[in-house]
């Protein structure tokens, strides 16, 4: 029972309440410490010199004048970052992305770095570094990069997953295929077949806090890093491996995080800060500018996708295919594979085939972005699903309900589903008042559904009981969305105490065993499960301490609503002991009281959502305004409903921005034209209506409370929901995201 992770339909007192968040006061009063807020005596300012070219050979770097400038304490290039990767290509790519090694592979690629006594000296020194480049041909478009005559970026890349294995290098690093059945036979039975091609442009996660860290290396080979990150253990491991350090000698402490959404699951300049500190023998603070964040951190893929769906007159999909071509930036990635896995995950299909192609381009190395790769695939699929429904003369919601995956459906990516929530979210859409609201002129309504996997992974936590009976929970999963409060609620629920008695902290890498990053919507799912087990173990210790104090067998003690209770008539003279009573006398009963758990939180349940969107499009300007938006998603069990709703709303807001405005724009020269929030426009509050939410709770059988991850799925449907709404408003199918005013006007003109 103590360590069981199976769903038990437990009755709750604390779970499901909307308690005050523990990090709220510090965040609204400015006391919270983010990445750039760390300080150390004698710290230097680090800055990075970046390539202005999309692709260039670095013939020579002359740092001599910069090194001589007064106040400059260290200058580094790739020569100061020897290759410790021992043939590990992924690690070497990581190192090469942090600092160019002989070639600049994209506009913004780091080529040198400086640590100086202040920012003005550091910037002055940057201008004294002379880099002799030989410009090479470049390619930034995913389809162009796949052409035979495209400049090949890496001579070592061979396409994995094709027969025969190619002997020639190309920009296609991998082909992957999923599916089952016979799609040709399926299409032969179809009464209606729709085939369409789509494009989505590259977007950035747009977190408000830029990457920032303070690095301090000691001459004895130990070091510390204070950093904004979604995974301080992963950062420690990667930085130690790249710099040739012992992992245990590098302590990484995470700051509060001002947004990550996947962009802070990778290292970008942290090894540079450590290398500068090592060379200067002083702490070095490195903070990216917004321009650097755009040019040299990790946006999501731009894509080009073909979808074909065939259905019979009675509304059944009989075959479906998709080909997903994903641009992964300057190094091989695994992004199209996720697009191929998620393309048709919402549907019950007898015949389905999806193919993904990973494509290398002269752009920044792509990073995860909230349900990475799924929104683009969903845009292509859900747009085509609407077209098929239209061709059949069916209501698009009814068409989806008829074809939705359910328990027992073999997913398009392989396994058979257990209990899932796509059907209930679609039924909820059908019943929602939003669907019956009247639309005015130039307005359109669209809906779409989406899927995400969710992960678990390695997790550890510690519960420490203080002498006054209050409790600290230390976890190693970064709190990106309020998990500290949710985890305190879980701990309080299990111990039978109040939420206010528990405080949750993020432990540093020396305080806890390894924890995976906060990605894959795993924070509350995985650390929550760890906390449940740790709390149940703590209760066992508390029962033992009460038994010791009472001098009775532990088998005669139970834990009830925060108290140790002696069972049976023979102990009826013993008053129950509260957690505080036991905590006050731990020195007499065996020492401090704590509970731990270190485990793998496997069994995360898949998640589905359906969204409804109303837009109004100005036919004169092509400008689109979202006027109403509703998110319906399965959460398994909402620990803190405010946070769950916040995740639903945040994902929808990011997806709306992606659908309508956000786009990396590259010039012919391969340089990014809009690396700033003025020219790369994310939605702000005044751009959006209140986003309505409806939480469904279909329990995950693999979590004691039934929790599923909720953080990512909500960004999957918006591209298609907005796309279907805009297409319905203007009467022209939109196939290119973002649906910015110029694209809408061009589509209208082409149709006229």
Partner 1 sequence: MEVQLSGPLRAAVGNQSVVSVEARSIRELFRTLSERYPEFTVSIANGVAVAINGNVYRDDWSTAIPENAEVVLLPRIQGG
Instruction: Point out which residues bind partner 1 (CB under 8 A).
Output: 160-161, 163, 174-178, 205, 261-263, 265, 334, 337-338, 340-341, 356, 368-372, 413-418, 453-458, 519-522, 600, 602-604, 702, 712
DSSP string, 214-265: EEEE-TTS-EEEEE--S-HHHHHHHHHHHHT--GGGEEEEE---S--TTTTS
Q: Is 86 helix (H, G, I), strand (E, B) or coil?
A: coil
Cβ atoms within 10 Å, residue 575 = 10
Residues near 366 by Cβ (< 8 Å), separated by ≥ 6?
A: 298, 299, 300, 301, 326, 327, 328, 329, 333, 335
Which tokens belong to 41? Answer: 């005596």
CB of 414 vs partner 1, minimal distance in Å: 4
- Which residue's CB is nearer to partner 1, number 521 or number 727? 521
CB of 279 vs partner 1, minimal distance in Å: 32
626: phi then psi, degrees, rounded to nearest 5: -80, 120
- Which residue's CB is nearer to partner 1, number 91 or number 746? 91
CB of 37 vs partner 1, minimal distance in Å: 25
Which among 493, 463, 480 is positioned nearest to 637, based on CA atoms? 493
CB of 603 vs partner 1, minimal distance in Å: 5
CA 750 to chain centre: 37
CB neighbour burial string for 436-450, b if at least 16 within 10 angstroms, e if fewer: eeebeeebbbbbbbb
- Which residue's CB is nearer to partner 1, number 418 or number 731? 418
Which among 290, 281, 291, 296 is positioned nearest to 44, based on CA atoms? 281
Side by side, the strands of the sheet bearing 577-578 are 557-560, 563-566, 577-578
DSSP state at residue 290:
H
CB of 217 vs partner 1, minimal distance in Å: 29
Contact 658, 738 (CB under 8 A): yes
CB of 158 vs partner 1, minimal distance in Å: 12
Radius of gyration of the chain (CA): 27
Alpha-carbon distance values, 171 to 357, 362, 588, 723 (Å): 10, 10, 68, 30
Helix axes 718-730, 374-392, angle to 10 degrees: 40
- Which residue's CB is nearer to partner 1, number 223 or number 298? 298
Find where tokens 């491996």 sit: 241
User: Cα(740)–Cα(556) distance, rounded to whole angstroms?
Assistant: 69
CB of 519 vs partner 1, minimal distance in Å: 4
DSSP string, 417-470: P-S-SHHHHHHHHHH-GGGGS---TTEEEEEEEEEE-----EEEEEEEE-TTS-
User: Cα(158)–Cα(170) distance, rounded to whole angstroms?
Assistant: 6
CB of 232 vs partner 1, minimal distance in Å: 17
DSSP state at residue 283:
-
CB of 20 vs partner 1, minimal distance in Å: 28
Residues near 369 by Cβ (< 8 Å), separated by ≥ 6?
A: 203, 204, 205, 261, 262, 263, 299, 300, 715
- Which residue's CB is nearer to partner 1, number 260 or number 444? 260
Which tokens belong to 506? Answer: 């993020």
CB of 358 vs partner 1, minimal distance in Å: 9
- Which residue's CB is nearer to partner 1, number 358 or number 386? 358
Which among 210, 291, 290, 294 is positioned nearest to 257, based on CA atoms? 210
- Which residue's CB is nearer to partner 1, number 231 or number 444? 231
CB of 709 vs partner 1, minimal distance in Å: 8
Query: Could you tell me whether strands 284-287 and 44-50 are parallel, antiparallel, or unpaired per DSSP bridges?
Result: parallel
- Which residue's CB is nearer to partner 1, number 520 or number 699? 520
Which tokens belong to 163? Answer: 């027969």
Query: Could you tell me whether strands 502-506 and 44-50 are parallel, antiparallel, or unpaired per DSSP bridges?
Result: unpaired
User: Cα(718)–Cα(448) distance, rounded to whole angstroms?
Assistant: 7
Number of continuous H segments (helices) and E segments (strands) in the chain: 20, 27
DSSP string, 332-377: ----HHHHHHHTTTTB--SSEEEEEEEE--SSPPP---SSTTHHHH
Instruction: Judge if the upstream peptide bond of residue 738 is cis by omega within 30 degrees of 0.
Output: yes
CB of 237 vs partner 1, minimal distance in Å: 15
CB of 338 vs partner 1, minimal distance in Å: 5
Which among 551, 381, 288, 589 is positioned nearest to 467, based on CA atoms? 589
CB of 346 vs partner 1, minimal distance in Å: 16
CB of 658 vs partner 1, minimal distance in Å: 13
Contact 323, 709 (CB under 8 A): no
CB of 716 vs partner 1, minimal distance in Å: 11
- Which residue's CB is nearer to partner 1, number 124 or number 175? 175
CB of 176 vs partner 1, minimal distance in Å: 4
Helix axes 641-660, 483-495, angle to 10 degrees: 160
The stretches of 480-574 forming alpha helices (DSSP H) are 483-495, 523-550
CB of 525 vs partner 1, minimal distance in Å: 11
User: Cα(542)–Cα(577) distance, rounded to whole angstroms?
Assistant: 10
- Which residue's CB is nearer to partner 1, number 698 or number 725? 698
Instruction: Judge if the upstream peptide bond of residue 164 is cis by omega within 30 degrees of 0.
Output: yes
Count how many residues are written for the chain: 752
């Amino acid at each position: 029972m103590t360590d069981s992770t199976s769903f038990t339909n437990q009755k709750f007192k604390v779970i499901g309440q909307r308690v005050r968040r523990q990090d709220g006061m510090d965040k609204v009063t400015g006391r919270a410490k983010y990445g750039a807020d760390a300080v150390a005596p004698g710290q230097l300012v680090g800055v990075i010199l970046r390539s202005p070219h999309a692709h260039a050979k670095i013939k020579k770097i002359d740092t001599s004048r910069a090194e001589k400038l007064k106040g400059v304490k260290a200058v580094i290039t790739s020569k100061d970052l020897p290759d410790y990767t021992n043939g590990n290509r992924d690690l070497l790519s990581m190192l090469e992305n942090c600092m160019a090694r002989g070639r600049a592979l994209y506009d913004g690629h780091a080529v040198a770095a400086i640590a100086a006594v202040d920012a003005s000296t550091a910037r002055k020194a940057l201008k004294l570094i002379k880099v002799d480049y030989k410009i090479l041909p470049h390619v930034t478009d995913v389809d162009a990069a796949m052409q035979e005559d495209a400049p090949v970026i890496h001579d070592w890349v061979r396409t994995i997953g094709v027969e025969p294995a190619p002997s020639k290098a190309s920009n296609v690093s991998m082909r992957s295929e999923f599916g089952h059945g016979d799609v040709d036979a399926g299409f032969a039975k179809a009464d209606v077949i729709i085939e369409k091609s789509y494009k989505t442009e590259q977007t950035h996660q747009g977190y408000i806090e830029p990457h920032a860290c303070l690095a301090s290396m000691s001459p004895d080979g130990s070091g510390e890093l204070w950093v904004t990150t979604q995974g301080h253990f992963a950062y420690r491991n990667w930085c130690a491996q790249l710099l040739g350090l012992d992992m245990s000698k590098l302590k990484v402490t995470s700051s509060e995080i001002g947004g990550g959404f996947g962009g802070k699951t990778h290292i970008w300049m942290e090894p540079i800060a450590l290398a500068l500190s090592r060379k200067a023998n002083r702490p070095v603070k490195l903070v990216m500018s917004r321009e650097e964040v755009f040019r040299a951190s990790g946006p999501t893929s731009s894509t080009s996708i073909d979808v074909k769906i065939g259905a019979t007159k009675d509304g059944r999909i009989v075959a479906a295919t998709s080909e997903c071509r994903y641009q992964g930036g300057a190094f091989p990635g695994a992004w199209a594979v996720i697009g191929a896995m998620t393309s048709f995950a919402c549907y019950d299909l007898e015949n389905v085939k999806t193919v993904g192609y990973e494509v290398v381009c002269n752009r920044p190395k792509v990073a995860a972005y909230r349900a990475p790769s799924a929104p683009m695939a969903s845009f292509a699929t859900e747009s085509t699903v609407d077209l098929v429904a239209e061709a059949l003369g069916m209501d698009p919601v009814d068409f989806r309900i008829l074809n939705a995956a359910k328990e027992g459906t073999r997913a398009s990516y392989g396994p058979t589903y257990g209990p899932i929530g796509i059907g209930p979210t679609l039924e909820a859409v059908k019943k929602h008042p939003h669907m019956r609201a009247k639309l005015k002129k130039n307005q359109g309504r669209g809906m779409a559904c989406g899927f995400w996997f969710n992960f678990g992974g390695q997790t550890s936590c510690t519960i420490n009981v203080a002498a006054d009976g209050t409790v600290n929970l230390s976890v190693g999963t970064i709190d990106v969305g309020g998990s500290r409060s949710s985890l305190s609620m879980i701990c309080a629920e299990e111990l039978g105490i109040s939420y206010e008695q528990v405080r949750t902290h993020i432990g540093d890498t020396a305080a806890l065993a390894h924890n995976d990053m906060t990605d894959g919507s795993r924070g509350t799912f995985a650390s929550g499960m760890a906390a449940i087990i740790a709390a149940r173990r703590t209760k066992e210790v508390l029962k033992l301490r009460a038994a010791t104090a009472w001098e009775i067998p532990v088998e005669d003690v139970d834990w009830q609503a925060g108290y140790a209770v002696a069972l049976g008539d023979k102990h009826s003279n013993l008053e129950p002991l509260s957690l505080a009573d036991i905590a006050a006398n731990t020195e007499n009963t065996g020492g401090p009281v704590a509970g731990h758990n270190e485990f793998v939180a496997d069994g995360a349940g898949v998640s589905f959502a359906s969204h409804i969107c109303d837009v109004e499009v100005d036919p004169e300007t092509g400008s689109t305004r979202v006027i109403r938006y509703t998110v319906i998603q399965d959460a398994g069990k909402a620990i803190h409903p405010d946070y769950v709703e916040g995740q639903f709303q945040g994902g929808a807001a990011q997806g709306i921005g992606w659908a309508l405005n956000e786009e990396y724009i590259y010039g012919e020269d391969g340089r990014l034209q809009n690396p700033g929030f003025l020219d790369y426009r994310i939605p702000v509050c005044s751009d959006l209506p209140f986003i309505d939410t409806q939480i469904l709770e279909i329990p995950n059988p693999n979590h004691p409370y039934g929790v599923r991850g909720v953080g990512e799925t909500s960004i999957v449907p918006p591209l298609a929901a907005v796309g279907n709404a805009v297409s319905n408003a203007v009467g022209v199918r939109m196939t290119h995201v973002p649906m910015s005013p110029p694209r809408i006007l061009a589509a209208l003109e082409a149709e006229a």
